[in-house]
Structure 1
């Protein structure tokens, strides 16, 4: 972690405290600023790098071997947009390996170049991960120059000047611009993604940066899915006469997004319609019900997090991606805690006892990760059935 550049260095990660991590540049040329987090998933790098929840973040992969399955057109998680509305950079232990998979349409390095994601390989990601665990997620600039031409002082200054995620509403940028209908179901072997036949429910998804697999999971339970922008009013949503409303995942500070989202979510809850929140949607629902959210030191990013469903006693291994959390001590009396992280005891789910309203901090749709929590979409369908 020296400030003196070694021969042959073509990529750097400049931390706000002045530390410089050196290595080989990967993917797009240039530089990008963001918050550095680590992800412990062993698979799913394409889904991670295209998840809008990683907007304004640089992802350090703890698994050393990345790139072996290449990339394809089907595993992109964001519905639209490019690197500006998903991960800004990626840090690897080893150089991405050549693609060797029947689904691969491209190698990872070339895909990152075309997409505009700046990468850095050859870094001691274990040391970086320990640093984040001890001191929190740093602000940093990741840069790639084939000539090794870096103004290190300027990069550090840019990292120090970046305002960070606290107080930042990113959902408005990650959201769609106009409503649209989505009808693709979950992936199955050997057919791939099936098209929906005869929908049984009308579901409106408030898009704060929705993952495509959430929409697929809804379609697979028989929902006709209409996705609407994050700023859509409760009145406009209820005018569509939905059987249920889903509050999606997304990036940024939930308190900032809540300035315009919380009043609309309260109105949706008061309407009696079934409401299901995921990740940022969970945090926004919690805010609407009277709780508060706080920034985490290292966050939860991975596909191997143990969570306990307090309503069933079942322990699930889930996919998580969040840097803010709901303060469990701030949950008001009408709200029941339903899930808890077994890593650190933080809140991972809530529900109302007297209304069809619930949410989880983790990602039941996975992609990447296990499908232990996929049943939550069936639970949502059960609430919609009772309302018919």
Structure 2
């Protein structure tokens, strides 16, 4: 069965169709990691996007539920050069997983040429459809995607002595697990939680999670999030990093084709150390007119974009990359340790005040 991938710039690509028999539209993006397809497909930050994998062969080790970042595939569609269809030691195949989840998958696509188009023209809308069917009408672009992936209610997990409030914009399971593995009690709050409800849980600190879409779509919440961050030690990851930056007066902008992969070099502005990071984002905090209250903590080696911030007076830090490293290199677990140090320092200050 053949399929077509039609881009909004008028170009199209063909391939074999292996997933759900439905047309889908979404922003087309590419991921450069050699592994990690299970985590990528189920990462809520990719919600509604069509993902192109740059590595030629995907599905080599099947799908295991232990590696999933949420309960379902979050991407709208999957595009690969080749999908492994041999024997697996455990789990199910990538093609079967896509079919069970109702997600179309195209393979046999010239992904090198496709990714070159995206690099030259930027991310754009695309439609995946079966060959021979008329191209469906283009739908309006959706940029406010967080309501589709946030928690529906407040939930507490773990029983550690340090109580972290996880503000959910579409958090990855591995971020929650990173906190639990470090002995934390975690309460997950929908992004629309009231301040009164948040304060009633007796939390020690906040983690603003990753999530999909344009951070500016949440601009109306900026005063609330600033109030929270001014009263609780706070860590922002990916979208959470962008939202905290907006809350304190910074601006965000969209990159031409984003950063998505497990090999993005970032430089610690304080130590000068360069390390590899796992990333998935379209938007960045602008370098120009950065508020004086914020300092640059990390910077991208390739394009010099901001990869992390800290507040000069408050116990607030943010990172654009994913320190939980799922998938990707585990070189930034120190981010959690630094965050915990901020919390303990703030506790000492509060006790001596």
Q: Which TM-score tier does this pair reach, normalised by the shorter chain?
A: over 0.9
TM-score (norm 2): 0.95
Is residue 2:204 matched to residue 1:212? no
What's the offset of the Cα at 1:18?
2.5
Match of residue 38, structure 2, among 27, 42, 46: 46
Structure 2 distance, partners of 1:334, 1:266, is 13
Structure 2 distance, partners of 1:99, 1:32, is 30
Match of residue 21, structure 1, among 1, 13, 32: 13
Match of residue 97, structure 1, among 77, 81, 85: 85
What's the offset of the Cα at 1:123?
0.9
Report what 1:263 is aligned to.
223
Unaligned runs of 5+ in 2: 348-353
Contact map agreement 1:40 1:303 (CA 8 A) in 2? yes
Structure 1 distance, partners of 2:229, 2:270, is 21
What's the offset of the Cα at 1:60?
0.4
Contact map agreement 1:38 1:61 (CA 8 A) in 2? yes
Structure 2 distance, partners of 1:100, 1:286, is 45
Structure 2 distance, partners of 1:15, 1:247, is 34
Measured against aligned partners, the alpha-carbon deviations of 1:327-346 in whole angstroms (never above 9, x if no partner) come to 11131001001110112111
Report what 1:61 is aligned to.
53
What's the offset of the Cα at 1:12?
1.4
Measured against aligned partners, the alpha-carbon deviations of 1:123-156 in whole angstroms (never above 9, x if no partner) come to 111111111111101210112x4xx4321xx33x
1:99–1:342: structure 2 CA closer, same or farther, 3 Å change rule? farther
Contact map agreement 2:207 2:234 (CA 8 A) in 1? yes
1:199–1:132: structure 2 CA closer, same or farther, 3 Å change rule? same
Measured against aligned partners, the alpha-carbon deviations of 1:52-89 in whole angstroms (never above 9, x if no partner) come to 000121110000110110001111102x4x34xx2111
Report what 1:149 is aligned to.
132
Contact map agreement 1:27 1:116 (CA 8 A) in 2? yes
Q: Any runs of at least 4 consecutive aligned residues in structure 1 with deviations exceeding 3 A, and if so which?
A: none
What's the offset of the Cα at 1:258?
2.5
Structure 2 distance, partners of 1:241, 1:383, is 17
What's the offset of the Cα at 1:312?
1.9
Structure 1 distance, partners of 2:29, 2:194, is 33
What secondary structure sits across from 1:354 in the alignment?
A: coil
Structure 1 distance, partners of 2:87, 2:161, is 40
Contact map agreement 1:200 1:224 (CA 8 A) in 2? yes
What's the offset of the Cα at 1:99?
5.0
1:333–1:290: structure 2 CA closer, same or farther, 3 Å change rule? same
Structure 2 distance, partners of 1:345, 1:108, is 36
RMSD, aligned CA: 1.4
Is residue 2:310 matched to residue 1:328? no
- Matched ranges for 1:85-164 at <5 A: 86-101=74-89, 104-143=90-129, 145=130, 148-151=131-134, 154-155=135-136, 157-158=137-138, 162-164=139-141
Structure 2 distance, partners of 1:175, 1:252, is 13
Structure 2 distance, partners of 1:114, 1:230, is 30
Match of residue 329, structure 2, among 370, 375, 385: 370
What secondary structure sits across from 1:110 in the alignment?
A: helix
- Matched ranges for 1:199-278 at <5 A: 199-260=160-221, 262-271=222-231, 273-278=232-237
Contact map agreement 1:214 1:365 (CA 8 A) in 2? yes
Structure 1 distance, partners of 2:200, 2:97, is 41
What secondary structure sits across from 1:27 in the alignment?
A: coil
Match of residue 303, structure 1, among 262, 270, 274: 262
Measured against aligned partners, the alpha-carbon deviations of 1:164-188 in whole angstroms (never above 9, x if no partner) come to 35xx2211221010011234xxxxx
Is residue 2:4 matched to residue 1:12? yes
Structure 2 distance, partners of 1:51, 1:204, is 20
Match of residue 180, structure 1, among 151, 155, 160: 155
